[in-house]
Amino acid sequence: MSGKKHLIYNPEKECMSRDEMHAWQSAKLAETVRREYENVPMYRARMDAKGVKPEDIRTVEDLKYLPFMEKTDLRDYYPFDLLASPRSEIVRIHGSSGTTGKPIVSGYTRNDVDVWSEMMARTLTAAGCTKDDVVQVAYGFGLFTGGFGAYQGADKIGAMVVPMSSGNTQRQIMMMQDLGATMLCCTPSYATYLGETIREMGLAPGKDIKLKAGCFGAEPWSEAMRVRIEELLGIDACDIYGLTELGGPGVAFNCLEKDGMHINEDHVIAEIIDPATGEQLPYGEKGELVFTSITKTGMPMLRYRTHDICSLTDKPCACGRSTIRMSRITGRTDDMLIIRGVNVFPSQIETVLVKTQGVAPHYMLVVDRVNNSDTLEVQVEMTEEMFSDTVGQIENVRRYITEQIKSVVGISAKVTLNAPKSMPRSEGKAKRIIDNRKL
């Protein structure tokens, strides 16, 4: 237990008994399936093909009879053919990158915007936010859900919102100081960059910078990265998870125990499946995360395959919430790299790099195929001290990283140490992989 004080936005919902939750989820699921069957021809056809009728779905256990939905469905039925409400009821559109050049889009009713705001209010409260806080939102505002999600949640709490959007780092830091921001919302890669810049400017967290906590997500990050951000900024760094198809950020969130992310189960039902067979897996086992939205009305998602890999647990949490938790996302079923037959998750390499003295966590993985054999190059930036190395440590650091990757991931990689500040900085989601094999 962390011994931290836990704030809960909606105890009635977040702490309900498991029996109450089961009854609530079952009723909402049945309602959503009926709505979908009546309004979305594509899903009706898919249920008919499986011989499943809406009245067959009565409890959470019946979920397994329903057909899956995929990101490709959002592409194939782009932009509005998955709407389960009339077009006139849609008040917002958000989007995210699809499997082709076009984005995938989701339509929100007023209800959906409210549900999402509630989920984000819970998320921020769990990180310690109250109406007395100043919340700096450095997620991008636009089709991407990060900026609006954080704004809506903080607004619902009644905190003072500073909607900076991403980028313009010097200005971010100036406003952070001038307005006394206490909470920060952005991607973990941008939090790292902000933290480093703050340190370089000679500003002291706790004195010049008043931040106490941050909600960071929208991209994979490691536990080591989380600890580094906490040190750099002197804050509690909480992981938050979400995806456009389910509304956006706030689907699940860390409480201050930071031991898994509480799922907003009164709004979504989570399952873990074996990605190869589609069979449900028990709590504790790693597999593909599948979500069913049970309160969304604009574009409900039934058994939506996220391709994100994690596990679930129903072990009690010290914060008092009764909701199940999902582990950190350890990779994806689709862009997991397979290099010389070995499954490689960028997060494994990130953990090695963050733990290594002398390099900064700005890196790129370059995969290629030379003479029919896959190659992996790990490019990482040296710190200033290492770069001006006078005692000949650089070669040792390079060798150390190579050995660590070999032992953790199981494959040999070429490690390239780049000069400080030479690699691209990210203000939104970081791009960490260049796979030249696909070209």
**Residue 327 near ligand AMP by CB under 6 A:** no
**CB under 5 to 8 A by kind: which of Zn ion, ligand AMP, none does 430 bind?**
none
Burial class (CB in 10 A: 0-12, 13-18, 19+), 199: middle
Q: Give me the amino acid identity at 228.
A: R
The smaller minimum CB distance to Zn ion, of residues 74 and 126, is found at 126
**Residue 214 near ligand AMP by CB under 6 A:** no
**CB under 5 to 8 A by kind: which of Zn ion, ligand AMP, none does 105 bind?**
none
Contact pick of 147, 153, 195, 217 for ligand AMP (by CB under 6 A): 217
**Residue 182 near ligand AMP by CB under 6 A:** no
Q: Which stretch binds ligand AMP (CB under 6 A): 2-10, 18-26, 63-71, 212-220?
A: 212-220
What region does 118 belong to: left with phi over 0, alpha with psi -120 to 50, or beta?
alpha
User: Closest by alpha carbon to 417, among 360, 379, 361, 367?
Assistant: 379
User: Closest by alpha carbon to 336, among 307, 306, 378?
Assistant: 307
What region does 401 belong to: left with phi over 0, alpha with psi -120 to 50, or beta?
alpha
The smaller minimum CB distance to ligand AMP, of residues 43 and 216, is found at 216
Residue 386 and residue 359 in contact, taking contact as beta carbons nearer than 8 Å: yes
**CB under 5 to 8 A by kind: which of Zn ion, ligand AMP, none does 287 bind?**
none
Q: Where are the beta strands (DSSP E) in 275-403?
A: 287-293, 304-310, 312-313, 325-326, 331-332, 337-339, 342-344, 359-370, 373-382
User: Closest by alpha carbon to 220, among 106, 103, 365?
Assistant: 365
Where b means 16+ CB within 10 Å and e means fewer, 393-432 reads eeeebbebbbebbeeebebebebebbebeeeeebbbbbeb
The smaller minimum CB distance to ligand AMP, of residues 107 and 242, is found at 242
Q: Which stretch binds ligand AMP (CB under 6 A): 113-121, 125-133, 233-241, 297-305?
A: 233-241
Instruction: In angstroms, give the least distance from the CB of 104 to ligand AMP.
Output: 8
The site map against ligand AMP for 43-82 (x = CB under 6 A) is ----------------------------------------
**Residue 112 near ligand AMP by CB under 6 A:** no
**CB under 5 to 8 A by kind: which of ligand AMP, Zn ion, none does 306 bind?**
ligand AMP
**Residue 220 near ligand AMP by CB under 6 A:** yes
Q: How far apart are CA 238 and CA 212, in angstroms?
A: 11
Q: How far apart are CA 340 and CA 367, in angstroms?
A: 11
Number of residues lying near ligand AMP (CB under 6 A): 16
Length of the chain: 439
Where b means 16+ CB within 10 Å and e means fewer, 224-260 reads bbbebbbebbbbbbbbbbbbbbbbbbbbbbbbbbbbb
Q: How far apart are CA 48 and CA 44, in angstroms?
A: 6
The site map against ligand AMP for 297-326 (x = CB under 6 A) is ---------x-x------------------
Instruction: In angstroms, give the least distance from the CB of 330 to ligand AMP.
Output: 9
Q: Which stretch binds ligand AMP (CB under 6 A): 211-219, 276-284, 367-375, 403-411?
A: 211-219
The site map against ligand AMP for 83-102 (x = CB under 6 A) is -------------x------
* Cβ neighbours, 10 Å, residue 99: 12
**Residue 239 near ligand AMP by CB under 6 A:** yes
**Residue 116 near ligand AMP by CB under 6 A:** no
Contact pick of 16, 183, 324, 329 for ligand AMP (by CB under 6 A): 329
Kindly list the residues in this chain that would bind ligand AMP in the complex (CB under 6 A). Answer: 96, 145, 217-220, 239-244, 306, 308, 329, 332
